[in-house]
Each structure stands twice: as C-alpha cells, then as structure tokens.
Structure 1
Amino acid sequence: MFKLWSSSPSASIRQFSSTVAKFATPTKDAAPKWTPNSIRTGLIARKRGMTSMYDDNGVRLPVTVLQLENCQVTANVKTVRPDQTEYHAVQVAAADRPLKTTTAQMRGHFKKAGVSPKRIVKEFPVTPDAHVPIGTTLSAIHFVPGQYVDVVAKSIGKGFQGGMKRWNFKGLRASHGVSVSHRSIGSTGGHQDPGRIWPGKKMAGRMGGETTTAQNLRVVRIDTSLGLIFVKGCVPGVDDAHVLVRDAKKRLQSLAKANQAKGLYEKVLPKGVTDLPFPAGTSELAETLPTIIEAPSDRVTSPFTPRE
C-alpha cells in the first residue's frame, strides 16, 4: 500500500491503515467516513522550490516541495442562496504574522477563532459533512501519498509579450519573402467584412500574473514533522509564494463518483490508497503515524527490466 520509512515497513503500513480507519470510521462522537460524494477542505502551503527524488524502481522524479505554516481552521461557512440551495465552505488561514501588523477587524476574527493572527486566509467549498472544528491545526497527512491534487497559485508574470511567446504562434517565414517580420502574428482581421477585430483575438499583451491551476499532480511523499508535501511535477508561482492545495477535481472527485456508480469500488481511490482522512488530516492524527510516508511507484514494472 505505502512505503513507510521505519524499521518495520509492514508494521507501519498496518498501523497507518488501522489508524486512518479509526479516525475515519463513523461513530457516535466521530466524524463520518469519506465517500465519493464528499468534498474535503484544501490546505494553504508555501512553495519552497523544486528538487528530484527516486522511487522504489530507481526512477528519478521531478518534485515540488510545498510546506505548511501553521495552517488552521478559522471559520465554517454556511450560506443559503436565493434558490434555497446551501453553500458550505471551510475557511483556512496560514502563516503567522505579528499582532501589530494585523488590522483590528482581523484581530477580532482570529481571536474569536482562538488562533494566532495569520497572513493569508482562504475559503474552500466543501460538502455539508466535511466541516472541520474551528481552531483545528491541519497537517500534511491530510493528503495521502499516492493520491492526486490540484495546486492553485498566481503564475509568474512575464510582462508584455508578443504572439509567439504568449500564444505559441509559429511566426512568418524565416527565409524568403519576409523582411524583418519573422515574429509577426500575421493578419488580425478582414478589411471590409467584418471590418474590425473580434473581441478576444489572440494578440500581443500582458502574459502571466494570473491565477492558474496545475491539475492532477501526484503526491509522492509527506513529512509531517516539517509539514512538507512532495508533489510530482511543477506548480505555478515563484518560490516562497502561497499556493492552495486541494483534492483533484477530475482525477479524484469526479472519477470516484463515476467508478462508484459503475460498481468499480477498487478504482474509487487511486492505486495504493485505501482511505482519506475525513473530514481532515489533523496534527493529532499525524502524531500517531510515521513521520515520513512515501508512495509506491506508479509504474507496473521497473523501467530497467528488459521487455519480453
């Protein structure tokens, strides 16, 4: 299931499964168990940079390191829309800040929640069964190694760029027939009909600096002592920027519902994942598990094994 860094891997795997099951099993005083119809809250992390690691097959993987900074729940939101449907969300705050640099309004908000002042506050839509008690400290164990996540951040600003860099236009001919116009975008509109340029035409302009989502990134390792989440691939934003990490909408939430409806229960969660901490992975849960948990390789066979 999972590769755990400890003296007895099999014992740690059993410990992880039983502990998650205990925290996730619905009882009279416990939260309900995760289902494909459940939407959990996300986390606020800080992008620390990229590095590389090797899986159990010896394959080198590019990974991005995300670090949690005292990520805590500050509010549970429930709003009734005009059509009488309900909107549920969990408000999360992270990165402690000095009290003197916090506005009076936010001081009162954090004091009511019983947490220290934070630098960033975000809201994650959830299902009604996924509310988290106010003041709960969230841990990296919230995301199980082997599952997929989406990372939302502000992309790096590139300034004013031409059509080739901004939209991947191939430009004009680089040899005969073109004079000093090799990177031109070409014609942009008709002369008489329509006699103008349609709105939304891909042209030169500001590039980057927009909210971007990197979808379906695999969690390959977590470190609960340092609050680190290692995801395979790159994420938007500059180093040390805050990013939002949540369960993958397409590859986890939507796919889980589809497989559940088809009766493919073994495919509800990704390979190697048996359950998700619900409603959230807390610091109390992290204390009962190994510090470092690593996902097994997603390859069926080793790339160094000759094909038959």
Structure 2
Amino acid sequence: MLRLWALSQRPAIPQCRTFHSTIVRSATAEAVTASTWTPTSLRTGLIARKRGMTVMWDTHGARFPVTVLQLENCQVTANIKTVRKDESEYHAVQVASTDRPEKTATKQMLGHFKRAGVPPKRIVKEFTVTPDAHVPVGTTLSAIHFVPGQYVDVIAKSIGKGFQGTMKRWNFKGLRASHGVSVSHRSAGATGAHQDPGRIWPGKKMAGRLGGERITTQNLAVVRVDSTLDLIFVRGCVPGIDDAHVMVRDAKKKMTQLAQVNRAKGDFDKVLPKGLTSLPFPAGTKELAATLPPIIAAPSLRSSPFVPRE
C-alpha cells in the first residue's frame, strides 16, 4: 500500500543566487524530473492548524489518543539560498498558510505574495532543507506530504498558564501536611544558603510565569492522512490551543539522524520505519494526492495486547 509513494515527482528548479521565483500554477507548467528521497535529504515542513484531540482504535482494538491537524491552503512562497561567512550554504523553503483578506495585510507582504503568485496569508515560516529539496514557488502542499507510519516533530507555542507556584511549575512535592507546618503546605521551602553566599543563586527554580513558550514535541507517529480534507492524524498530544498554528516536520531523531546511522551500518531495512519504502520528495503536492487514495491509514506495528505472550 505504501509503495505508492514511489510515484512522487519533483519539478525542475532553476539555479538562482538568493530567491527562487519559479511559479507553478498547474501540473504541466514545467517539465518534471523523477527524484527520490535519501537518508541525507532534509524535506520542508508544513504549517497546520490544531483542530483538537480525539481517539482511534488500531487493528487489535486498542484505543489510543490522536491529535487532528489540518492544512489551510499551505503554499510555497520562496526558496532561500544564503552563503555564510565561512562559505557554507544555507538552504530553506518559505511556506505560508491560511488565506486572509488583502485589506488586513501590509503592502510589503502583499507585494511578496503577488510575486509568488499566491493569495495573502496569515502566517509565514521557513524550514531548513538540503539543496536538492527546494520546491517551486506557488506549489500547494498536501497532507500527503507525510506518510502514515512515519514520525514527525510538532513545534508550537504552549498554552500560557500565568503566574504559578513551584509545585505546578517545577513539580515540587511541597512541605509536610502535618507536624508543625502551618499554612505553607505548597510553599517552595528554603531558597537561600544562610550567610554564605548570602544570596540566591541565579537559575533557582522558583514561582513564576508558566507556559507561553515555543515547545517542540518530538517523535509523534502519523497514523492517518486524509488528502480530501487535508487532515493529518498524529498519535499523542501537541502543544498549543485549539485552532493554533503549528509547524510539522520530519522527526529529526527517528527519521533523519537514525536513517543516516542505519545506512552507515548497512541496515538498509531500518533506514525508514517498518512498512515504508520512500517519502514524497521533494514534497507532497496536490497533484500527487490526486493519484493516491483519499484516506491512507498506517497498519498497526505492535502485537495484540489481548493475546498472551508465549
């Protein structure tokens, strides 16, 4: 079932010095050449909206939680190439998502979107890629970009919880509930070190503001992809409130680094997670989604929890 990803194709990309401005409005706009994913390849990520959490059941009947992420007309707005002082190159793909009215966008961004041939967007982010993973400007990305069975990292701003005490913020156990402790059961306890050094060391864990920070949740499994509604079902929870924008990319540890290590060892069967043969490269587009089933689910890779082990 997952061998259908070998049909992915990559449009030809002209070589430019800083920004690539190739605009693609149809599948036949430019000549395309076949390209495949390698362990050294680093693909672009996507910008999605967190729609909430629900539950699913695997083929063994075991229940597990999932988070639903949805793409909102996620398109490529620029390809970036920068030469650093040490003569190394930085390559990135700029992605924008969620259409917005023109009157709510600045003139500078309106000109940027007009050159890219895309409608105004609410959020713009860039993802570091390898030189062979640039995507033509104007390409509309699909949820099919991520293969069910692979692992992803989700980056978002965590839910802000305001000023909190040490027990909630740092998981302190608190003071005793009896035997002399009065009206300070959730206190942090001693924070100083008597007269020497006579001060509180910098970095001491104390009460303060909790949440509202950039958080990366790593190694979440993609269990289902719906290309009709552009839905991505990932196992577990992701940071952020409902309807918040999140960035989704290939897992750096379980996909990129582990693939390179296994290839160096000669374990080619372990380069990708079990059941996968390749990934859409350089990206999963709407044209690729039209050639595949609308809903693809990952098979359960675990043994049945209801059958006793021998």
C-alpha distance after superposition, 1:214-269 (max 9, x if no partner)? 11000000000000000000000000000000000111111111111111110010
1:248 lines up with 2:251 in the alignment: yes
In 1: Cα distance, 2:150 partner to 2:8 partner: 18
1:272 deviation in Å?
A: 1.2
Q: Which residue of 2 aligns with 1:127?
A: 130
Q: Which residue of 1 aligns with 2:7?
A: 22
Q: Which residue of 2 aligns with 1:304?
A: 306
**Number of aligned residue pairs:** 292
In 1: Cα distance, 2:147 partner to 2:60 partner: 20
In 1: Cα distance, 2:100 partner to 2:180 partner: 61
Structure 1 residue identity aligned to 2:100: R
Pairing of 1:65-80 with structure 2 (within 5 A): 65-80=68-83
In 2: Cα distance, 1:163 partner to 1:51 partner: 31
1:146 counterpart SS class: coil
Q: Which residue of 1 aligns with 2:108?
A: 105
1:81 deviation in Å?
A: 1.0
Tell me if structure 1 keeps the 8 A contact 2:10–2:32.
Answer: no
C-alpha distance after superposition, 1:128-150 (max 9, x if no partner)? 11110000000000000000000
Q: Which residue of 1 aligns with 2:24?
A: none
Pairing of 1:87-236 with structure 2 (within 5 A): 87-236=90-239
2:273 counterpart SS class: coil
Change (3 A) 1:110 1:96: same
1:20 deviation in Å?
A: 2.3
Tell me if structure 2 keeps the 8 A contact 1:152–1:211.
Answer: yes
2:70 counterpart SS class: strand
In 1: Cα distance, 2:262 partner to 2:74 partner: 32
2:33 counterpart SS class: coil
Change (3 A) 1:202 1:209: same
1:196 deviation in Å?
A: 1.4
Tell me if structure 1 keeps the 8 A contact 2:11–2:135.
Answer: no
In 2: Cα distance, 1:193 partner to 1:284 partner: 69
In 2: Cα distance, 1:293 partner to 1:302 partner: 21
In 1: Cα distance, 2:274 partner to 2:201 partner: 47
Change (3 A) 1:150 1:187: same
Structure 1 residue identity aligned to 2:161: K
Tell me if structure 1 keeps the 8 A contact 2:154–2:216.
Answer: yes
C-alpha distance after superposition, 1:99-138 (max 9, x if no partner)? 1111100000000000010000001011111110000000
Structure 1 residue identity aligned to 2:6: A
Change (3 A) 1:26 1:67: closer
Tell me if structure 2 keeps the 8 A contact 1:163–1:184.
Answer: yes
1:186 deviation in Å?
A: 1.2
Structure 1 residue identity aligned to 2:307: T
Tell me if structure 1 keeps the 8 A contact 2:8–2:284.
Answer: no
Question: Taking structure 2 as the reference length, what is the TM-score of the superposition?
Answer: 0.91
1:158 deviation in Å?
A: 0.3
Tell me if structure 2 keeps the 8 A contact 1:26–1:33.
Answer: no
Q: Which residue of 1 aligns with 2:38?
A: 35
1:51 counterpart SS class: strand
RMSD: 1.5
Tell me if structure 2 keeps the 8 A contact 1:26–1:32.
Answer: no
Question: Taking structure 1 as the reference length, what is the TM-score of the superposition?
Answer: 0.92
1:43 deviation in Å?
A: 0.2
Q: Which residue of 1 aligns with 2:291?
A: 288
In 1: Cα distance, 2:291 partner to 2:162 partner: 48
1:83 deviation in Å?
A: 1.1
Structure 1 residue identity aligned to 2:290: E
In 2: Cα distance, 1:177 partner to 1:102 partner: 62
Structure 1 residue identity aligned to 2:99: D
1:192 deviation in Å?
A: 2.3
1:185 counterpart SS class: coil
Where structure 2 has 5 or more consecutive residues not aligned to the other structure, the ranges are 13-30
1:23 deviation in Å?
A: 2.1
2:269 counterpart SS class: helix
Tell me if structure 2 keeps the 8 A contact 1:31–1:278.
Answer: no
